Amino acid sequence: MLILQRRLGPALRRWRALNRVKQSHAAERLGVAQSTISRWENGTQEMEPEQRARTEALVSARLTSAGDAALARLVHGQSRGAHLICDQSHRLLALSTVRRREFGCDADDLIGESLWRFITEDLAKVEDGLNGLGWFDLASPPEVVAETGANGSDVVPIRPGRCRLTRMLLSDGTAARLVETLS
């Protein structure tokens, strides 16, 4: 969770910029002082759990428009394993039929749930290195191809192989991540 905490301040800054929200208005919405927003965004102050939850709810990706729904349908129709997650919280937004069959549970039960608990060591290392690639600062960072490793989960199994991570902005300016199995 520490990785996600470190990215929340910059995610709030991006959300404000994309939605043309001043720090003072964000502070009002989140029930804190404007100077607190500044410290969060600069990484000089950590959020309390309740503040973190409210901020995550504000900056987390949602499929809210017709365009977003079309993206979800495209993911669903993928001919290989693929899923779409919130780039900030790792909440599952959509998945391909292939990926749905791989899951050891009813995949609908996982929609809206974070898949973070299923991450492998290899993918956690990739996640830790995304900041250095400008992943969270650029509107359209380059895609990343990564080794997956294995997680040993029967619920959301990840097998050794390769995947491609592609970050994209949804209609409301929040970021989503397409994860595609390559091998």
Q: What is the pLDDT of residues 46-93, one digit of tens each?
A: 899 899 888 988 888 889 899 999 999 999 999 999 999 999 889 999
Q: Please state which of the ranges 10-19, 95-104, 122-131, 150-159 shows the lowest mean pLDDT.
A: 10-19
Tens-digit pLDDT profile for residues 95-124 = 999 999 999 999 999 999 999 999 999 999
Average pLDDT over every residue of 120-131: 92
Query: How many other CB atoms are there within 10 angstroms of residue 145's CB atom?
Result: 12
Q: Give the residues across from 169 on adjacent strands.
A: 175
CATH of domain 66-181: 3.30.450.20
Tell me the three state secondary structure of residue 145.
strand
Of 130 and 145, which is predicted with more confidence?
145
Tell me the three state secondary structure of residue 66.
helix
Task: Read off the pTM.
Answer: 0.80
pLDDT confidence bin for 2, thresholds 50/70/90: very low
Report the C-alpha gap between 69 and 92 in whole angstroms: 14
Q: What is the pLDDT of residue 6?
A: 59
CATH 1.10.260.40 assigned to domain 2-59? The reply is yes
Q: Per-residue pLDDT for 39 more than 50? A: yes
Q: Range(s) for CATH 3.30.450.20 in the chain? A: 66-181
Q: Range(s) for CATH 1.10.260.40 in the chain? A: 2-59
Q: Please state which of the ranges 36-45, 98-107, 136-145, 148-157 shows the lowest mean pLDDT.
A: 136-145
Q: Convert 45-70 to b/e letters by CB count within 10 Å (16 or more is b).
A: bebeeebbeebbebbbbbbeeeebee
pLDDT confidence bin for 158, thresholds 50/70/90: very high
